[in-house]
Structure 1
Amino acid sequence: MNYLLQLVLILLLTKLGAHIAATFNLPSVIGELLVGILAGPAVFHILTYSTFIQYFAEIGVIILMFIAGLEGDLKLLFRYWKPALTVATLGVIFPTASAVLLCVGMFDFSLTTSIFLGLILSATSVSITVQVLKEMDYLNTREGAIILGAAVADDIICVVLLGISTSLFGTASAHNQSLVAMVLPKVLFFVVVIALAKWFVPLFLRGFNKVNASENITTAAMVLCFGFSFLAVKLGMSDVLGAYIAGLAISETRFKAQLVAKVEPIGYAVFIPAFFVSIGLEITFKGMQNDLVFIGLLLVLAILGKQIGGAIGGKLFGLTWNEANIVGAGMVSRGEMALVVANVAVSAGLIDHNHYTAMIVVTVMATLIAPSMLKTFIQHGKRAVSHISLNKTSEAKS
């Protein structure tokens, strides 16, 4: 199919899907994800995962996380770094440990394979969570800050555990890259981006503001977004993490409000819908009947592991149970990091392609379920707050 026709279909169908989802009081992202499943190989086979869609999707998720950074509150993130780190740690331990017990105990997998399947389940992606938080006007709250901070910590923990595991259990090619060689670039990344964010970003924006050209500041922002993403990839981190940090850096400058208004239309009009559709396009039901029990049990563990781990982590730092459940639900969504872990595991000969396919299905299904869970907990919390406010008003009048 011609790439222009693919783009036409993606844009039309995602907006229709979002509208239908909103009609049934579901997050709009659910409608967009379902468009990918229905239009893709799983059902009608109208669209397939092409190189064109891949590139548009990658740009889409980068811009989505850049917007999240732009609208973020750096002071809020720093204030809640302790609960964020706790949530991330428990959110890795619970799904990994439960998956290992399941795979070894019920399916007689080797301990090595079980550990890697558990690591795949431990990787969080907040790209879709961010969309729901934005829709519900919940991004700059205590829970939102904990979720975003935990997602950054989660990436780091997964990278370290992946490095240790491949060094201990991988094939000869995996052994050739030592743990230090894997972890050192990640440490360097944070050192470099923190320095750039503090000193270079404000200077770059002020300098570009003097350039006599149309949309000069918007262009400068996109240069920083993609530049930080490129740097992240080169140093072994997720591109979305680089984009998010670039957005956070810009959010501390006087250009924040201007750029939010400029960048959001670029993302939401074209690129971000392609990202949501691409997730659904990776689903296929071929051969799944042989692994339904395995996939079903892993999906339950993928959801409950993150939900329980995140909720306990939040509760330890004084959140109410509903607030803690919001944090837990915000960590359920999976995405690019889970796929990275799965690809490394396959390349290192630690899981086979059948298990890889099963994990892709679990990853996508968890991502489909997570937005509704998160929206339900947020709505419940808002109703509870509203109810308390009404009671106080009634008592005051009486």
Structure 2
Amino acid sequence: MSFPFISPLVATDLDTSPIVLAGVLLSLVVIFLASKLGGEAAKRLDFPPVLGELMAGLVIGISALHLVVFPVSGAQAADSLIMTALQWINHLEPDTLTKIYESQSEVVKVLAELGVIILLFEIGLESDVRQLKEVGPQAIAVAMTGLLAPLILGTAGLMWFFHLPAIPAVFAGAALTATSIGITSKVLSELGQLQSREGQIIVGAAVIDDVLGIIVLAVVASLAKTGEVDVRHVCFLIVGATTFLAGSIILGSVFNKTFVKLAEGLKTRGNIVIPALGFAFFMAFLGSALQLEAILGAFAAGLVLDESNARLQLEELLKPIADLLVPIFFVTVGAEADLTILNPTVPENRAGLLIAGFLIVIAIFTKLISGWTVFGIPGINRLAIGWGMVPRGEVGLVFAGIGAATGALDKPLEVGIILMVIFTTFLAPPFLRSAFSAQPPTSGETTPAIAGEP
């Protein structure tokens, strides 16, 4: 068997796919090692392991060791130590190395997206549909407050204090509305609070936030590109998102019985997990095809199968798959964060730091007050609900990326949004844990940790 990726020949005319594979494999080795070291360190310090995975991403990413870097953070192939090693082994030309770097980065990002899809599928499975319905009004109140308060205060503050034009200010205000359901849900599961009343309100509100955030993003992106809002597109998103989630919940009472019969009829290995993942991926595809989000479809798939008799067995079968893929997502989120924008000696960073300070205050304050809009549940831990809505994570980075691509954001404002995303993502997990420690949840039910966490 030959290994062209270790050939001493210059690889300009060779098939580069083996070299791309080598880069992906080496990147995964680094990511898995970093995720375990970071998760174990966080666990020993009594922090949620997901925080350790994010911190590990910072260490191996663009901010420190440059082992795993991505084009989205502005890095070039020469900035990656893994790419440098591959270039040295294979004697690659710079143009060839760039193509390999872009392909390798895309593969790792796809694996990370699969990880968050699996995570949201698990969260849907662990979510009690009946309880989600019970906390529906409270979740809507939290989500609407968490959307409108940061959008209004952020936009108005940027226009008033920083004299920004309306469109960039609206775009930055819209970026403040996001909530990272992936990060919050993982922390809730690690804390055993996913099925508490607080956990269900947070998850429900985060899903609503996700849907509303997509609609807001479509509106402001249209505004930035054309100077006017495409009303038909916005109406399509609203109707599509509402129909999608409502239809998924209604479908659950019918499809889960069909799923059980299908699983019982299959006699080969993977008779439960393969049909389940196929369904989850199909729902994720539908969510993406409807211009919503793939993770929303995966969450809906979990809700559909939540009441299935095979749910507990399916949860156990998914754990090793989640152990493999979910850490890739959280480590890459950290790896993409570029902390060099904190350097005040760079002139354009100074304005960004001032804007970032304002955005961070608004981002935390407005989500915290959303927890106090919960009504009708005596003794509810409103502080925990507020902190659960704080992390922006990958959702906020999407806003920043699209804003920069449309030309709506200049460099200081883009820097400010990225810093806001970093701070809210890293601050929320420890404060969420502290909030739950200070006051027990309203429900005595807890759920075991997912993704292999004890």
With normalisation by structure 1, the TM-score equals 0.88
Determine which of 351, 376, 390 is the counterpart of 1:317: 376
**Cα distance 1:342–1:69, how it changes in 2: closer, same or farther (>3 A)?**
same
Equivalent residue, structure 2, for 1:3? 24
Q: Which has the higher contact order (CA 8 A, sep 6+)?
A: 1
Residue 283, structure 1, aligned to residue 337, structure 2: yes
Equivalent residue, structure 2, for 1:247? 302
Question: What is the identity, as a one-letter code, of the residue corresponding to 1:273?
Answer: P
Question: What is the identity, as a one-letter code, of the residue corresponding to 2:333?
Answer: I
| Counterpart Cα distance in 1 of 2:442 and 2:317 | 35
Question: What is the identity, as a one-letter code, of the residue corresponding to 2:287?
Answer: A
Question: How far is the alpha carbon of 1:216 from its aligned partner?
Answer: 1.1
Equivalent residue, structure 2, for 1:257? 312
* 8 Å CA contact 1:104, 1:110 repeated in 2: yes
Count the aligned residue pairs: 382
Q: Per-residue CA shift, 1:64-89, capped at 9, x if unaligned?
A: 11111111111110011011100001
Determine which of 214, 218, 222 is the counterpart of 2:273: 218
Question: What is the identity, as a one-letter code, of the residue corresponding to 1:294?
Answer: I
Higher Rg of the two aligned structures: 2
Determine which of 322, 325, 335 is the counterpart of 1:271: 325
Question: What is the identity, as a one-letter code, of the residue corresponding to 1:339?
Answer: L
| Counterpart Cα distance in 2 of 1:340 and 1:183 | 19
Q: Per-residue CA shift, 1:167-208, capped at 9, x if unaligned?
A: 556416974964334434334433543454333343134224
* 8 Å CA contact 2:38, 2:56 repeated in 1: yes
Q: Per-residue CA shift, 1:98-148, capped at 9, x if unaligned?
A: 212321122111122212211111111121111221122111111111111
Moved more, 135-144 or 287-296: 287-296
* 8 Å CA contact 2:197, 2:442 repeated in 1: no
* 8 Å CA contact 1:201, 1:249 repeated in 2: yes
| Counterpart Cα distance in 1 of 2:272 and 2:442 | 42
Q: How does 1:72-151 map to 2 (within 5 A)?
A: 72-151=127-206
* 8 Å CA contact 2:34, 2:57 repeated in 1: no
Question: How far is the alpha carbon of 1:53 from its aligned partner?
Answer: 2.0
Residue 26, structure 1, aligned to residue 47, structure 2: yes
**Cα distance 1:136–1:182, how it changes in 2: closer, same or farther (>3 A)?**
closer
| Counterpart Cα distance in 1 of 2:116 and 2:217 | 23
Equivalent residue, structure 1, for 2:245? 190
* 8 Å CA contact 1:29, 1:131 repeated in 2: yes
Question: How far is the alpha carbon of 1:19 from its aligned partner?
Answer: 1.1
Moved more, 217-226 or 174-183: 174-183
**Cα distance 1:183–1:93, how it changes in 2: closer, same or farther (>3 A)?**
closer
Question: What is the identity, as a one-letter code, of the residue corresponding to 2:367?
Answer: K
Determine which of 352, 361, 366 is the counterpart of 1:300: 361
* 8 Å CA contact 1:229, 1:238 repeated in 2: yes
Moved more, 104-113 or 288-297: 288-297
Q: How does 1:337-356 map to 2 (within 5 A)?
A: 337-356=395-414
**Cα distance 1:188–1:347, how it changes in 2: closer, same or farther (>3 A)?**
farther
Unpaired runs of at least 5, structure 2: 1-21, 71-104, 445-454
Equivalent residue, structure 1, for 2:448? none
Equivalent residue, structure 2, for 1:43? 64
**Cα distance 1:146–1:121, how it changes in 2: closer, same or farther (>3 A)?**
same
| Counterpart Cα distance in 2 of 1:11 and 1:77 | 34
Determine which of 372, 381, 385 is the counterpart of 1:327: 385
Partner SS, residue 216 of structure 1: coil
Equivalent residue, structure 1, for 2:99? none
Question: How far is the alpha carbon of 1:46 from its aligned partner?
Answer: 1.6
| Counterpart Cα distance in 2 of 1:200 and 1:210 | 15
Q: Per-residue CA shift, 1:211-233, capped at 9, x if unaligned?
A: 22101111111111111111111
* 8 Å CA contact 2:256, 2:307 repeated in 1: no
| Counterpart Cα distance in 2 of 1:55 and 1:318 | 41
Residue 382, structure 1, aligned to residue 437, structure 2: no
| Counterpart Cα distance in 2 of 1:252 and 1:226 | 19
* 8 Å CA contact 1:205, 1:220 repeated in 2: no
Moved more, 137-146 or 158-167: 158-167
Identity %: 31
* 8 Å CA contact 1:202, 1:253 repeated in 2: yes
Partner SS, residue 192 of structure 2: coil
Question: What is the identity, as a one-letter code, of the residue corresponding to 2:168?
Answer: T
Equivalent residue, structure 2, for 1:204? 259
Partner SS, residue 122 of structure 1: coil
Residue 158, structure 1, aligned to residue 213, structure 2: yes
Question: How far is the alpha carbon of 1:385 from its aligned partner?
Answer: 11
Question: What is the identity, as a one-letter code, of the residue corresponding to 1:95?
Answer: P
Question: How far is the alpha carbon of 1:277 from its aligned partner?
Answer: 0.4
Residue 360, structure 1, aligned to residue 421, structure 2: no
| Counterpart Cα distance in 1 of 2:53 and 2:233 | 41
Moved more, 329-338 or 54-63: 329-338
Partner SS, residue 339 of structure 2: coil
| Counterpart Cα distance in 2 of 1:205 and 1:384 | 33
* 8 Å CA contact 2:356, 2:415 repeated in 1: no
Question: What is the identity, as a one-letter code, of the residue corresponding to 1:210?
Answer: G
Question: How far is the alpha carbon of 1:234 from its aligned partner?
Answer: 0.7
**Cα distance 1:337–1:250, how it changes in 2: closer, same or farther (>3 A)?**
same
| Counterpart Cα distance in 2 of 1:128 and 1:165 | 25
With normalisation by structure 2, the TM-score equals 0.78
Partner SS, residue 147 of structure 1: helix
